[in-house]
C-alpha cells in the first residue's frame, strides 16, 4: 500500500490509521486495503492507455461491490469469469456493456444471463462454445459481441500453473494448425454473433515484455489472414493481463505507462507492416492493480525456535487466506508492525494454523529476535488472489477486507461467522 508509514513508536499506519487500532476494531487476520492506492493504480492504467484503448480490471484477482464502484468511477471496465462475478459486478452498478465475460466452460445458464444482461463481449474459448453462445443469443433475438481467445504458442516465463499461451492446456483455441482461423470462419457464419476481435492472454506475474511482443505479432498475423480471406478487418484485440508486481525486492515491475507504450507501439508497427488499420487495444490487468494495495494483518500466536534450523512463527490465519505460497511456491516478505524493536533479526518461517505442514505463508524471512505472542505482523502485496482464493479449510473463517482511506476504515467484505458456515450445513 502507498500510504504506509511507521510512527515513532514503531506502529505502522496505513491510510492514516494505526494497525493496532485496526486489529482491535476488526480483529485478525484481516486484509487491509488502501483505497487511495487502488484508485491511483486503476487511474494510472486508465490514463496510460488513453481513450483509444480499454482497461478491463480482472475481477478474479479480487472482487467486491466497493471495488466495482471504484473501478466504475475511475473509468475502467471489468472482466468477469463466472456467474458469481457477473452478479457482483451488476449488483454494484457496473454497466453491462463495460463487462467482458470469460471462461473455458461457461454454463448455458451463465451465458444466457450474460447475453440477457447485455455484456459488452463474451470471450469464446472453444468450438462448442461458439455454437452455444450463437444459439443462446439467437434464441433471445440478440446478436452478441464476441472475441475469440486464441493460444499463440508463447512460453511465458512464469510458474507452469499460471502460464496460458502454450498450446498444451485448457484455455483458448490454438493458432497453430489453422484452428483459430477455422474458429473465425465458423463465428462469422453465425447470425447470433458479432465477431469484434481476437483475444490472447499469455500468463500471469510476467516481467518480460517479449512474450507480449510475440503474442501481438501473432494476433496481428491472424487479423491479416482474416482480412485476406474474408475481406474484413476486425476492430479489436485484447492482449490479456499478467503484468507482474513486486512481491519481494528482487521483482522489478514495469509502470503502466511503459506497458501501454510498449504494447501500443508493437501493435501499431505490426499493423503498419501488414497494412491493417490499428485495432482498438484492450488489456486485463488484475494483480497489477489490486495486488500491491493490500496487506494481511496477522497476530502472532506462538514462536517456536528449532535449534540450528529456524524459528516457526504461527499466525492466526494461513493457507486458507493465502494459498499462493503452497500452490505456486510464491515469495512474500513480512514485517513486525505493532511496535519498534532493535533485537537481532532471526530467520523465521511464518506458518498458519491449519493441519498441514505445507501451510506456509512466508517461507524465509527475518523478524526481530524478541518477537512474541500478541505481536502484529503484516504480509504485504496480498491484494490479488488471496481473498479471492480463500477457503474454509479446517472450518476456519475467511477474514474481512477492511478498506482504509484518509483516516477512516470501513469493512467492504465482512469476516465470515460460524453462522455463515453452519447455514450451508443443512444435513
Q: How far is CA 160 from CA 40, 151, 166, 189, in A?
A: 31, 15, 10, 36
Residue 49 lies near ligand LLP (rule: CB under 6 A): no
Q: Where are the alpha helices (DSSP H) in 233-332?
A: 256-274, 287-290, 324-328
29 among annotated binding-site residues:
no
Residue 61 lies near ligand LLP (rule: CB under 6 A): yes
Residue 34: name the closest of 379, 406, 299 by CA: 406
User: Least distance to ligand LLP from the beta carbon of 244, Å?
Assistant: 8
35 among annotated binding-site residues:
no
385 among annotated binding-site residues:
yes
Give the count of residues interacting with ligand LLP (CB under 6 A).
22
For ligand LLP, the binding residue among 17, 58, 175, 360 (CB under 6 A) is 58
Beta-carbon contacts of 333 under 8 Å, excluding residues fewer than 6 positions away, are 247, 248, 249, 362, 365, 379, 380
Residue 204 lies near ligand LLP (rule: CB under 6 A): yes
User: Least distance to ligand LLP from the beta carbon of 10, Å?
Assistant: 31
CA distance 402 to 290: 14
Q: Is 81 among the residues known to form the active site?
A: no
Residue 13 lies near ligand LLP (rule: CB under 6 A): no
Chain centroid to Cα 19, Å, comes to 25
Three-state secondary structure call for residue 28: coil
- Under rule CB under 6 A, which residues in 265-294 are in contact with ligand LLP? 284-288
Residue 240 lies near ligand LLP (rule: CB under 6 A): yes
Q: How far is CA 58 from CA 31, 78, 209, 224, 384, in A?
A: 19, 6, 19, 28, 10
356 among annotated binding-site residues:
yes
CA distance 158 to 42: 24
284 among annotated binding-site residues:
yes
In terms of CB distance, is 314 or 325 closer to ligand LLP? 325
Residue 385 lies near ligand LLP (rule: CB under 6 A): yes
Element (H, E) at 138: helix 127-139
User: Least distance to ligand LLP from the beta carbon of 184, Å?
Assistant: 19
Residue 387 lies near ligand LLP (rule: CB under 6 A): no
In terms of CB distance, is 11 or 246 closer to ligand LLP? 246
Residue 201 lies near ligand LLP (rule: CB under 6 A): yes
Q: Which residue among the candidates 81, 271, 355, 386 is catalytic per the annotation?
A: 355
User: Segment contacting ligand LLP (CB under 6 A): 7-15, 57-65, 218-226, 369-377?
Assistant: 57-65
DSSP bridge pairs for 280:
236
Judge if the upstream peptide bond of residue 29 is cis by omega within 30 degrees of 0.
yes
Output the nine-digit C-alpha cell for 286: 488484475
Site string for ligand LLP, 74-103 (x = CB under 6 A): -----x----------------------x-
DSSP bridge pairs for 80:
101
16 among annotated binding-site residues:
no
Residue 349 lies near ligand LLP (rule: CB under 6 A): no
For ligand LLP, the binding residue among 242, 253, 279, 383 (CB under 6 A) is 242
286 among annotated binding-site residues:
yes
Residue 162 lies near ligand LLP (rule: CB under 6 A): yes
Residue 241 lies near ligand LLP (rule: CB under 6 A): yes
DSSP bridge pairs for 369:
none
Residue 43 lies near ligand LLP (rule: CB under 6 A): no
308 among annotated binding-site residues:
no
Three-state secondary structure call for residue 178: helix
296 burial level (CB within 10 Å; 0-12, 13-18, 19+): buried
CA distance 292 to 427: 41
Chain centroid to Cα 260, Å, comes to 18
Beta-carbon contacts of 241 under 8 Å, excluding residues fewer than 6 positions away, are 58, 79, 201, 204, 283, 284, 285, 286, 287, 288
Residue 338 lies near ligand LLP (rule: CB under 6 A): no
Residue 352 lies near ligand LLP (rule: CB under 6 A): no
User: Least distance to ligand LLP from the beta carbon of 101, Å?
Assistant: 11
Residue 344 DSSP one-character state? P
First to last CA, the chain: 43
Q: How far is CA 221 from CA 165, 176, 215, 234, 297, in A?
A: 16, 12, 10, 12, 48
Residue 193 lies near ligand LLP (rule: CB under 6 A): no
Residue 121 lies near ligand LLP (rule: CB under 6 A): no
Would you list which residues are annotated within the binding site for pyridoxal 5'-phosphate?
Answer: 242, 284-287, 385
Catalytic residues: 355
Residues in touch with ligand LLP (CB under 6 A): 58, 60-61, 79, 102, 162, 201, 204-205, 240-243, 284-288, 324, 328, 384-385
Binding site for substrate: residue ranges?
Answer: 287, 324, 328, 356, 385
Amino acid at each position: 500500500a502507498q500510504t504506509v508509514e511507521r510512527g515513532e513508536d514503531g506502529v505502522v499506519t496505513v491510510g492514516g490509521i494505526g494497525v493496532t487500532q485496526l486489529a482491535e476494531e476488526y480483529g485478525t487476520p484481516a486484509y487491509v486495503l488502501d483505497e487511495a492506492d487502488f484508485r491511483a493504480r486503476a487511474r494510472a492504467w486508465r490514463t496510460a492507455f488513453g481513450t483509444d484503448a480499454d482497461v478491463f480490471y480482472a475481477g478474479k484477482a479480487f472482487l467486491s461491490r466497493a471495488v466495482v464502484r471504484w473501478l466504475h468511477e475511475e473509468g475502467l471496465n471489468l472482466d468477469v469469469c463466472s456467474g458469481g462475478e457477473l452478479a457482483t459486478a451488476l449488483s454494484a452498478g457496473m454497466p453491462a456493456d463495460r463487462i467482458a465475460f470469460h471462461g473455458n466452460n461457461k454454463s448455458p445458464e451463465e451465458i444466457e444471463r450474460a447475453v440477457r444482461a447485455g455484456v459488452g463481449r463474451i470471450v469464446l474459448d472453444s468450438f462448442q462454445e461458439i455454437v452455444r453462445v450463437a444459439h443462446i443469443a439467437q434464441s433471445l433475438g440478440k446478436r452478441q459481441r464476441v472475441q475469440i481467445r486464441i493460444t499463440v504458442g508463447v512460453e511465458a516465463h512464469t510458474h507452469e500453473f499460471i502460464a496460458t499461451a502454450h498450446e498444451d492446456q485448457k484455455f483458448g483455441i490454438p493458432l497453430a494448425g489453422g484452428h483459430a482461423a477455422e474458429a473465425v470462419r465458423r463465428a462469422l457464419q453465425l447470425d447470433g454473433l458479432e465477431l469484434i476481435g481476437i483475444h490472447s492472454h499469455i500468463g500471469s506475474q510476467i516481467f518480460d515484455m517479449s512474450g507480449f511482443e510475440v503474442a501481438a505479432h501473432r494476433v496481428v498475423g491472424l487479423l491479416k489472414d482474416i482480412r485476406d480471406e474474408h475481406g474484413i478487418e476486425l476492430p479489436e484485440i485484447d492482449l490479456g493481463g499478467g503484468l507482474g508486481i513486486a512481491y519481494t525486492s528482487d521483482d522489478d515491475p514495469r509502470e503502466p505507462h511503459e506497458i501501454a507504450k510498449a504494447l501500443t507501439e508493437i501493435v501499431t508497427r505490426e499493423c503498419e507492416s501488414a497494412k491493417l488499420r490499428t485495432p482498438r487495444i484492450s488489456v486485463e490487468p488484475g494483480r497489477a492493480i489490486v495486488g500491491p494495495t493490500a496487506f494481511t494483518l496477522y497476530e502472532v500466536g506462538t514462536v517456536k525456535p528449532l535449534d540450528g534450523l529456524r524459528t516457526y512463527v504461527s499466525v492466526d490465519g494461513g493457507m486458507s487466506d493465502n494459498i499462493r505460497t503452497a500452490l505456486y511456491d510464491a515469495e512474500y516478505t513480512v514485517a513486525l508492525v505493532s511496535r519498534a524493536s532493535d533485537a537481532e533479526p532471526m530467520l523465521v518461517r511464518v506458518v498458519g494454523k491449519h493441519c498441514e505442514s505445507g501451510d506456509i505463508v512466508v517461507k524465509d524471512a527475518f523478524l526481530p529476535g524478541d518477537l512474541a505472542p500478541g505481536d502484529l505482523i503484516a504480509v504485504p502485496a496480498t491484494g490479488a488472489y488471496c481473498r479471492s482464493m480463500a477457503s474454509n479449510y479446517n472450518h476456519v473463517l475467511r477474514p474481512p477486507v477492511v478498506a482504509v482511506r484518509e483516516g477512516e476504515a470501513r469493512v467492504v467484505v465482512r469476516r465470515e461467522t460460524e453462522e455463515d458456515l453452519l447455514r450451508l450445513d443443512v444435513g
